[in-house]
């Protein structure tokens, strides 16, 4: 892959840990540039996850279906890492879908390449741990907000944290993510659009 495709992922990784030049060159040599069309899936329910993706462009929605109802777990945008992490680490079939909400350009690293990098380079292993810790903290914050904030507070927090999410995602998917009915979200949006 050319250097242009790697620029954004290198900057994102450097926020966690700056790899030595030889480590970065080896790591970059394993990366793949993928294009995914809006509506296609990076991961499907029942499939074992084999990649971690870094989004250069586009957006995804992570969701699962139970009893005919879909539940949105998360959204990811340009500059985010996305994967069916549970499936990736357990090697069990994924229980969720990762759908492209917009056309995507993503840098992908395969599970075998990632593990080889972890094994060969102490900094690679450390980098993986730091990213996993960051994702864990992010997940716990979301769970705490879901349990302790009102729907309006969760909406405001989300607007402050990620205005693109409010703008680019459908009411149905956004309300599922916030844990409220679409009608409630419409009411909250009207209230905040007036202010």
- Structural domains present in the chain: 3-123 (2.60.120.10)
3-class DSSP state for residue 107?
strand
- Axis crossing angle, helix 122-148 with helix 21-28, rounded to the nearest 10: 70
- 48-76 residue pLDDT tens: 999 999 999 999 999 999 999 889 888 88
Tokens of 13: 């990784």
Q: Where are any strands of DSSP class E within the chain?
A: 32-36, 41-43, 51-57, 59-66, 69-77, 81-82, 97-100, 104-110
- Residue of 5, 17, 1 whose CA lies nearest to 132: 17
Residue owning tokens 């949105």: 72
- Contact, 86 vs 65, CB < 8 A? no
Alpha-carbon span 40 to 11, nearest angstrom: 27
pTM, to two decimals: 0.85
Q: Which of 11-15, 40-44, 61-65, 154-158 has the lowest mean pLDDT?
A: 154-158
Residue 84 carries which DSSP code?
A: -
179: left (phi over 0), alpha (psi -120 to 50) or beta: left
155 band by pLDDT with thresholds 50, 70 and 90: confident
pLDDT band at 162 (very low <50, low <70, confident <90, very high): confident
**How sure is the predictor about 4, in pLDDT bands with cuts at 50, 70 and 90?**
low
At residue 97, φ and ψ (nearest 5 deg) are -105, 145
3 confidence band (pLDDT: 50, 70, 90) = low
């Amino acid at each position: 892959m050319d250097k242009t495709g790697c620029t954004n992922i290198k900057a994102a990784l450097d926020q966690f840990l700056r790899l030595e030049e030889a480590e970065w060159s080896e790591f970059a040599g394993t990366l793949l540039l993928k294009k995914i069309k809006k509506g296609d899936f990076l991961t499907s329910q029942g499939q074992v996850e084999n990649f971690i993706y870094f989004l250069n462009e586009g957006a995804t929605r992570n969701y699962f279906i139970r009893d005919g109802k879909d539940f949105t777990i998360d959204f990811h945008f340009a500059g985010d890492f996305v994967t069916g992490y549970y499936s990736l680490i357990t090697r069990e079939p994924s229980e969720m879908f990762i759908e492209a909400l917009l056309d995507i350009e993503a840098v992908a690293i395969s599970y075998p390449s990632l593990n080889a990098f972890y094994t060969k380079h102490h900094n690679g292993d450390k980098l993986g741990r730091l990213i996993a810790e960051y994702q864990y903290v992010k997940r716990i914050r979301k769970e705490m907000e879901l349990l302790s904030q009102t729907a309006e507070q969760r909406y405001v927090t989300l607007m402050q944290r990620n205005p693109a999410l409010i703008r680019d995602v459908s009411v149905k998917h956004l309300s599922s993510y916030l844990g409220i009915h679409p009608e409630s979200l419409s009411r909250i949006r009207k209230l905040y659009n007036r202010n």
